[in-house]
A and B are shown apart, each in its own frame.
Chain A
Amino acid sequence: MSQRTVARRYATALYEEADATGVLEDVDDDVLMLRRSIDSNRELSRFFESPVIPKEKKDAIIRELLGGKVEGLVVRFLRLLVQKDRETLTRAILDQYQSLRDEHRGIVDATVTVAHPLAGADREALVEALEEKTGKDIRLHVEEEPDLIGGLVIRIGDRVFDGSVRNQLNALRDRLHEAPLSIEANGEPD
């Protein structure tokens, strides 16, 4: 079974349990905090990923480190992961949880690639336009790629809207390659 599938199942379990016990908001915050900590703290990410540290020790550390700081459910969840030998997937599970929550809240990630930095007003206009088009809240990620020359490329999930100058130039090139140019009108064909 692929890691993604496993991560999705654990994330769903956490979400449903949090929803049922009414601590959804707290769990959301805890997950966000944990996710950030793992990213910023190498020690912590190594702690979750290392197979050398024995289960009991991991269990004890989790209780000591997080007990009282985060929701009880989150602590129990992490201990369950340790028990099931899935703690190496913690990062993926937290990611899945977040995307699951985004789905429920109607938030979608949109990646916009531009050639030149986006001005504040343009950015707002873009978010507005996208929200209107998709009917969902947009979380915008902006990337810069000078190769585009101009225009922008928007990617939401699998869907790509390519309005870059590069793409249009490519299309024009293909068109000039393929189109049978009618030379007869101007003179004899070679």
Chain B
Amino acid sequence: MSNGSIRSDEVTDILRRELGGFETEAEEYEAGTVLEAGDGIATLYGLSNAQASELVEFPEQDVEGMVLNLEEDSVGVILFGDVDAVSEGDEARRTGRIASIGVSENMLGRVIDPLGRPLDGRGPIEGDKMVLPLERKAPGVIYREPVENPLQTGIKAIDSTIPIGRGQRELIVGDRQTGKTALQVDTIINQKKTHREETDAEPVYCVYVAVGQKDSTVAQVQRDLERNGAMEHTVIINASASMPTPLQYIAPFAGACIGEYFRDTGRDSLVCFDDLSKQAVAYREISLLLRRPPGREAYPGDIFYLHSRLLERAAKIINDDEVASQMNNLPEPLQDEVEGGGSLTALPIVETQAGDVSAYIPTNVISITDGQIYLEKDLFNQGIRPAIDVGTSVSRVGGAAQVSAMKDVAGTLRIDLSQYRELEAFAKFGSDLDESTQQQLNRGERLVEILNQDQFSPVPVEEQIAIIYAGINGYLDDVDIDDIEDFEEEYVERLRLRHEDVLAEIRETEELTDAAEEAFESVAADLAEVYSGEEEEEEEDVLEEAAA
């Protein structure tokens, strides 16, 4: 306070006003007693009216919990917050609320925990929050539309061969250290473009859910997103390895909940789950502690349902406000805000051990999702980044969402690449190869090279089309492998300088016109000449030197 002293009558006045509205009615609630507590689980006696997934509070300890098990004479609860504070004999009260979090626009740019509390030390999240339940039934058939708008990841290998549509669920599966998180981060960074005012693309709001990750990894992701200007449209939910397992279990649901907020208000959202195998492990721990019978790999019987009900919430909502507002299981606060045409795209990660995709969780999630992107350690070690195995990766619904210009250009890319992989294995035997085979190998090698891409450098779709056009049509065949990166750079640079209109046209119409093809051809041909010439010159130099 600046003006010296506080007058005591002012304080009295405020307190009186507060007391004025204070009613002295007896509080009525239902209470139970903790029978046993430990490992993030508490068994309560009483609370016979509690509902599944209702929040209970432990008022003395200031801890909340969620009802998970309803038994004949006890209730099993998972605890959020200070797990060790709760002990036998403590009182637990029903709250009557289903587990939920407060969602608001102001969460963008923030790092929060699965209950919506800020973790980034930047103070409380301001503004009104909409309280939405963590568990919610996915929208039914009539409220959905087929996936047909592309979600550009900015990653050449994905956008060309495994296109992802808005509302799709595409799994990223691979061993540790193969660049799974990098794919998600790059995809989030690429959505930055959709938020620029000059583009007419619908903006995509992103949620990154870290489950059981190291805090240092999450901090790194946050820094990467910030440095690339992508944090403004992103919420990070962190349930790190040191947080209680119940929080790790609910984190993906919290992510889906925030995604749904954008989806149901007519906007597009992208939720990245990093990763669901850790959530499965957290759920296994909880289930075993609650004495639910273990099944395969000791996971509980409903582990499939855990992931299927989560990923089912990814959807493209019908573009009709009238129908959308009738949506099933709409939470009350959302009811008046519903708009059609929104979407929730899910990009879950599942980690495999030693490339074993036939383990329990990977097979489950593969069968739930609309396709998967395989990342392979071998490819990674060969220096292919992102280390996507194009042959085994698929996108079951994304094809309809691919930009038609890309479809024209990259139509044969998948086949070319898989044929190349097959031939490559043969070529290793070192036998003499006929010319056409050699030609195919040569082309394949260059196609693999152009799909290589650095981290944090998403490529706009029109440039991807231009690059792939050059590769598929053989303009790179005479360029040295090591020069391809330079070629690519210069090629795009020249196109931007001389044919900006062509690129802009592809961006807007999404069609590949004859004019565009001509432009690509002329620039690529010119450059190819320069690069193949250079190569010869170098060879001549070497010959001359040798002669001298």
Q: Give the contact stretch, choosing among B20-28, B269-277, B535-543.
A: B20-28
B22 A175 Cβ-Cβ under 8 A: yes
B73 A4 Cβ-Cβ under 8 A: yes
Segment 1-48 of B: residues with Cβ below 8 Å from A: 1-3, 10, 13-15, 18-19, 22, 24, 26-32, 46-48
B26 A162 Cβ-Cβ under 8 A: yes
A contacts with B: majority SS: mixed
* A37 contacts chain B at the CB level, 8 A cutoff: no
Residue numbers in B under 8 Å from A190 (CB-CB): 1-2
* B95 contacts chain A at the CB level, 8 A cutoff: no
* B61 contacts chain A at the CB level, 8 A cutoff: no
A5 B73 Cβ-Cβ under 8 A: yes
Chain A, residues 137-163, CB within 8 Å of chain B (1/0): the string is 000000000000001000101111111
Chain A, residues 149-190, CB within 8 Å of chain B (1/0): the string is 001000101111111000110011001100101010011101
B73 A158 Cβ-Cβ under 8 A: no
- In the complex, what distance in Å separates the CA atom of A24 from the CA atom of B505? 92
Number of residues of chain B lying within 8 A (CB) of chain A: 26
- In the complex, what distance in Å separates the CA atom of A190 from the CA atom of B24? 32
- In the complex, what distance in Å separates the CA atom of A34 from the CA atom of B483? 96
- In the complex, what distance in Å separates the CA atom of A175 from the CA atom of B72? 37
- In the complex, what distance in Å separates the CA atom of A190 from the CA atom of B2? 7
* B74 contacts chain A at the CB level, 8 A cutoff: yes
A160: nearest chain-B partner, CB-CB:
B31
B29 A176 Cβ-Cβ under 8 A: no
* A41 contacts chain B at the CB level, 8 A cutoff: no
B29 to chain A, nearest CB (A): 5
* B381 contacts chain A at the CB level, 8 A cutoff: no
B13: nearest chain-A partner, CB-CB:
A186
A142 to chain B, nearest CB (A): 17
A133 to chain B, nearest CB (A): 11
Q: Which of A168, A176, A188 contacts B24 (CB 8 A)?
A: A168
* B49 contacts chain A at the CB level, 8 A cutoff: yes
A59 to chain B, nearest CB (A): 31
Residue numbers in A under 8 Å from B32 (CB-CB): 158
Residue numbers in A under 8 Å from B22 (CB-CB): 171-172, 175
* A21 contacts chain B at the CB level, 8 A cutoff: no
B residues adjacent to A (C-beta < 8 A): 1-3, 10, 13-15, 18-19, 22, 24, 26-32, 46-49, 72-74, 93
B18 A179 Cβ-Cβ under 8 A: yes
B126 to chain A, nearest CB (A): 12
A188 B3 Cβ-Cβ under 8 A: yes
A175 B73 Cβ-Cβ under 8 A: no
20 contacts between A and B (CB under 8 A): A2-B72, A2-B73, A4-B73, A5-B73, A157-B46, A158-B31, A158-B47, A158-B48, A159-B30, A160-B28, A160-B30, A160-B31, A161-B27, A162-B29, A163-B26, A171-B22, A172-B22, A175-B22, A188-B2, A190-B1
- In the complex, what distance in Å separates the CA atom of A159 from the CA atom of B13? 37
Residue numbers in B under 8 Å from A183 (CB-CB): 14
B49: nearest chain-A partner, CB-CB:
A158
Q: Known contacts A161-B26, A186-B10; can you find 17 more A-B pairs with CB under 8 A?
A: A2-B72, A4-B73, A5-B73, A158-B30, A158-B32, A158-B46, A158-B48, A160-B29, A160-B31, A162-B26, A162-B28, A162-B29, A163-B26, A175-B18, A179-B18, A181-B14, A188-B3
Residue numbers in B under 8 Å from A158 (CB-CB): 30-32, 46-49
Given A2-B74, A4-B73, also A162-B30 (CB < 8 A): no
Residue numbers in A under 8 Å from B15 (CB-CB): 176
B353 to chain A, nearest CB (A): 38
- In the complex, what distance in Å separates the CA atom of A160 from the CA atom of B27? 8
Residue numbers in A under 8 Å from B31 (CB-CB): 155, 158-160
A171 B27 Cβ-Cβ under 8 A: yes
Residue numbers in B under 8 Å from A161 (CB-CB): 26-28
Given A158-B46, A159-B30, also A187-B74 (CB < 8 A): no
- In the complex, what distance in Å separates the CA atom of A161 from the CA atom of B3? 46
A95 to chain B, nearest CB (A): 13
A176 B1 Cβ-Cβ under 8 A: no
Residue numbers in B under 8 Å from A186 (CB-CB): 10, 13-14
- In the complex, what distance in Å separates the CA atom of A187 from the CA atom of B3? 9
Residue numbers in B under 8 Å from A175 (CB-CB): 18, 22
- In the complex, what distance in Å separates the CA atom of A160 from the CA atom of B13? 34
- In the complex, what distance in Å separates the CA atom of A159 from the CA atom of B48? 10
B18 A167 Cβ-Cβ under 8 A: no
B48 to chain A, nearest CB (A): 6
B18 A176 Cβ-Cβ under 8 A: yes
A184 to chain B, nearest CB (A): 12
- In the complex, what distance in Å separates the CA atom of A160 from the CA atom of B28? 6
A155: nearest chain-B partner, CB-CB:
B31
A125 to chain B, nearest CB (A): 16
B535 to chain A, nearest CB (A): 72
A90 to chain B, nearest CB (A): 19
Residue numbers in A under 8 Å from B48 (CB-CB): 157-158
- In the complex, what distance in Å separates the CA atom of A152 from the CA atom of B214? 49
7 tightest A-B CB contacts, nearest first: A163-B26, A162-B27, A158-B30, A158-B46, A160-B31, A186-B10, A4-B73
A67 to chain B, nearest CB (A): 35
- In the complex, what distance in Å separates the CA atom of A175 from the CA atom of B32? 25
B296 to chain A, nearest CB (A): 27
